[in-house]
Amino acid sequence: MRWDNLRLTDRVGASEPDDPAAPLFARGAVTRTFDTPEFKGMTFYEIRARSIVNRVPAASRVPFEYTINPYRGCSHSCIYCFARKTHEYLDLDAGADFDSKIVVKVNAAELARKELASPRWGGHHIAMGTNVDCYQRAEGRYRLMRGILAALRDAANPFSILTKGTLILRDLDLLTEAAEVTEVSASVSAGFVDPGMWRAVEPGTPHPRRRLEACATLNDNGIACGVLMAPILPYLTDSPAQLERTVKEIADSGATHIAPIVLHLRPGAREWWLSWLSREHPRLVPRYLELYGRGAYAPKAYQQRITAQVKELAGRFGVGRATPAMARRLPP
């Protein structure tokens, strides 16, 4: 990821230029801590970005070309998060710093409105929540997404949102207004529903069942919402019984579709994950080194087997058909 689009400006309360405790990128940014339990131990670096609509590098293997990311770092603290490496570009570490030192682009909404109105902008689809979650805990305080969604609505610009958060429901009014003038879709991420595993590897997120309830609410209000069943964790959440339980609950949520993705371990996430695994499940370390010894992805044969199992279960439980949440929207 590139960070040359961040302009740091002197403001009241900004870090001193020669403050040795501040990371290099934050010299001149406003550095804040909040004395509330939900933000305990966290630091926020408020910066003014030069641009907010980012073009995804051509080499990226993603099905979208443009993104908006109002935050860097994420309080969800998912042990496996693939975006961890990006914090190293800021002279921060990919572990605890990624979870607790959050970059906030405070001018994101005004930039979005300006860039979407530019004659050079082609009205392309914009994906949000694809790097770090735009509805992480900080959004409850900074409320950047409301301004961004209003700008997208007013420009009738198509967009999608991926989130592990339930805070997206706060903006249901803007989402439904936007859906009247352009294409709007959402996905919630829930790779498993086991409460013990959730607490262990996604400690800053809402319970998976709450995410699936959010999925149902979005669909009930006309916002097409599917589920990214990700990540599926080898030897931890991939047993036939676990997959069946997860897919059934996804089907019950009324999800429009389900997309399974097996855990991948890119640099940054790989080290953090294996460190956690060696503490909590040391017997699995050799198995993981065998699966991921050649790179970031599990062998294709394993991925294909998991995908086939999920596809069969989705068909059995009727994902995308008239499940309970969807039935409530059908005419009598």
Q: Domain total for the chain? A: 1
Give the tokens for residue 258. 């389900």
DSSP string, 75-97: TT--TT-GGGGGGGGGT--TTHH
pLDDT at 328: 43
Question: DSSP 3-state helix, strand, coil percentages of the chain (rounded to 5)?
Answer: 40, 15, 45
Q: 18 in a domain, yes or no? A: no
Task: Residue 218: give its domain's CATH number.
Answer: 3.20.20.70
pLDDT tens, position by position, 243-268: 999 999 999 999 999 999 999 999 99
Confirm if 266 and 82 have CB atoms less than 8 A apart. yes
Give the tokens for residue 126. 């914009």
Q: 241 in a domain, yes or no? A: yes
pLDDT tens, position by position, 173-204: 999 999 999 999 999 999 999 999 999 999 99
Q: 36 in a domain, yes or no? A: yes
Burial class of residue 320 in the structure, from the number of CB atoms within 10 Å of its CB (0-12 exposed, 13-18 middle, 19+ buried): middle
What's the CA angle centered on 94, arms 88 and 100, to 5 degrees? 110
Q: 329 in a domain, yes or no? A: no
Tell me what percent of the residues of the chain surpass a pLDDT of 70: 88
What is the average pLDDT value for the chain, to the nearest integer?
90
In this prediction, the residues of the chain whose per-residue pLDDT falls under 70 are: 1-22, 24-27, 59-61, 322-332
Q: 252 in a domain, yes or no? A: yes
Confirm if 201 and 79 have CB atoms less than 8 A apart. yes
* Cis peptide leading into residue 231 (ω within 30°): yes
Give the tokens for residue 190. 């829930």
Q: 17 in a domain, yes or no? A: no
Residue 245's domain comprises 24-322
